[in-house]
Amino acid sequence: MQKVFNLFDLKQKVDYKTEILSGITVSLALVPEAIAFAMIAGFSPLTGLYAAFVMGLVTAVLGGRPGMISGATGAIAVIFVGLILELRNTFPDITSETILQYVFATVIIAGILQILAGVLRLGKFIRLVPHPVMFGFVNGLAIIIFMAQFPNFYQKGTSNLLEGSTLFIMLGLTLLTMLIIWGFPKITKVVPSSLVAIIVVAAIVIGFGVDTMTVGDTLNAGETIKGGFPPLTIPDLSFDLTTLKIIFPYACIVAGVGLIESLLTLNLIDEITETRGNGNRECIAQGSANILSGLFSGMGGCAMIGQSLINTSAGARARLSGIVAAVMLLVFIMFGSGLIEKLPMAALVGLMFMVAIGTFEWASFKTFKKMPWSDVFVMVVVTLITAITHNLAIAVLLGVVLSALAYSWENAKRIRARKFVDEDGVKHYEIFGPLFFGSVQGFAEKFDVVNDPAEVIIDFKESRVADMSAIEALNVITHRYFKLGKKVHLRHLSQDCINLLNKAEAIIDVNIMEDPTYKLPVDKL
């Protein structure tokens, strides 16, 4: 059943049935995640659920990547743990309600910063993330998703593994869920297999009264997911310099981590769907969602890779699935909390296990013998840091830095010079390879200034002058010749190089023989 679904500026074919069913599946998977992430920071379950609703709805409508799901996330929750600790140290008598006001204010400021990033078109810089870093990011994330399910196999509040029939029931239902998700598409793809698995396992547990862990069992005593529409909450704080000193650094971290995770998720979904999202629009959508989340009693968040993969693997490609997921989540909160709390955790654990297995880039193992050792090293490092620290932003940033250093090192070794003296006694240096900060030392070592003839030509036809370090290297070498009364010509500099040299007239003095035959590549991101 294919129809055209127009929303704002998008026109695309949408399978309504697939979008709606996929959205319902995602909403079921959102519940335990939102509860767990809220509890990480010590908030009530509704704080996480309200964030998941607001983030999911706003980004589904305004975001730059149809089909991507946003909500409360662990990476953001961990940041608030640090904020809460600082607040308790600064204000020993602070109440939990006042802490929430600081959290909401932090989320709102983070949202403003994210919108600013989108307006300044900073989302384009996510394209600078190398492929090995993406491999490592995805693999590390798959490990996180996989390992995060194991606490469900322990007795609540302890580190003791479930015993006897309780353990076997949990394992059996989890394996049944995974089997249905794997096998049902071989029969038919009319209904998402993940939704079928949840319904079947829930029917078995509820229908036969199977004694196993449910969503309700994950809640603390007296807590519930039942609530109303998210209440409007204007942070009750005095926004003076003292307050800003506390929350602004955390707002910057929330904004940065949220954008990195969201834009990396956008890139991943782009690859899966073979389409292209809009990073800058996603920045604005994430910022808008966080502002509204802070105003409507939510803890903020960002894109959720696990739920986004559930959505896309079910065939969803449009905004409708995200809207349905958010709306159904609110319906669960307002009207269906009793039923949702009875859902067996085994079904949701099995679903997330399959997401982890599908997320892991198994093909990356085949690249070990084909990729340069530096790329393999970066991929492994990013994977390990992501899996160990759970800090995706730090892992990705470190991966980018390592990739940049490896690239610079490899290019620094490529600088070469072919030397000869022509019939007029002029010595020629034909330079090969890029001249930049990493290769300037090798470049300087190519010249025999003392023994060279009175006239020297340095030819850059097969080279590139890339940065100010390279310009300074030219300055140094020409002055070395000048001190000995020798004349130097620089040949085959592109107009880009000449412009760089002209801009540096105040600090260098070189002779240029203009003969441009190429232009420096300029990456207009």
Question: Position of tokens 């993969």?
Answer: 309
Question: Per residue in 470-486, is it b (16+ CB within 10 Å) or e — as a string?
Answer: bbebbbebbebbeeeeb
In 3D space, the residue among 515, 510, 418, 523 whose CA is nearest the CA of residue 466 turns out to be 523
Cα separation values, 156 from 77, 214, 219, 338, 404, Å: 21, 11, 10, 20, 45
Alpha helices in 148-209 (DSSP H): 164-187, 193-207
pLDDT category at 507 given cuts 50, 70, 90 is very low
3 state DSSP class of 160: coil
| Mean pLDDT of the 139-144 span | 83
pLDDT score, position 354: 87
Reading the block at residue 416, the tokens are 């070469």
Determine phi and psi for 181, rounding to 5 degrees. -60, -40
Q: For the chain, what percentages of helix, strand and coil (3-state, to nearest 5) are there? A: 60, 10, 30
- Strand 455-465 and strand 416-421: the pairing is unpaired
Reading the block at residue 329, the tokens are 């989540």
Question: Position of tokens 């490899």?
Answer: 410
Percent pLDDT > 70 in the chain is 92
Which H/E stretch holds residue 256? helix 241-273
pLDDT category at 503 given cuts 50, 70, 90 is low
Domain boundaries, the chain: 16-218+225-400, 413-513
pLDDT in tens, 466-496: 888 888 888 888 889 988 989 888 888 766 6
Which H/E stretch holds residue 465? strand 455-465
CATH 3.20.20.10 corresponds to the domain 413-513:
no
pLDDT score, position 308: 93
pLDDT category at 351 given cuts 50, 70, 90 is confident
Question: Residue 168: pLDDT above 90?
Answer: yes
pLDDT in tens, 196-215: 999 999 999 999 999 999 98
Residues 427, 412: Cα–Cα separation, whole Å: 24
Residues 487, 8: Cα–Cα separation, whole Å: 65
Question: Residue 451: pLDDT above 60?
Answer: yes
Q: Residue 226 class from Cβ within 10 Å (0-12 exposed, 13-18 middle, 19+ buried)?
A: middle
- The answer to whether residues 256 and 77 touch, using CB atoms and an 8 Å cutoff, is no
Residues 6+ apart with CB under 8 A from 5: 12, 13, 14, 16, 318, 319, 320
Tell me the β-bridge partners of 303.
70
Region of 65 (left: φ > 0; alpha: ψ -120 to 50; beta: rest) is beta
pLDDT category at 500 given cuts 50, 70, 90 is low
Tell me the β-bridge partners of 465.
435
What is the average pLDDT score of the chain? 86
pLDDT score, position 418: 93
Of the CA atoms within 13 Å of residue 76, those in its CB half-sphere come to 41
Sign of the alpha-carbon torsion through 175, 177, 179, 181: negative
Residues 153, 148: Cα–Cα separation, whole Å: 11
Order of strands, edge to edge, in the sheet holding 416-421? 416-421, 427-435, 455-465, 487-491, 512-513
Reading the block at residue 5, the tokens are 């679904």
Which has more pLDDT, 42 or 153?
A: 153
Residues 6+ apart with CB under 8 A from 255: 110, 111, 113, 114, 117, 287, 290
Which has more pLDDT, 192 or 229?
A: 229
- The answer to whether residues 290 and 59 touch, using CB atoms and an 8 Å cutoff, is no
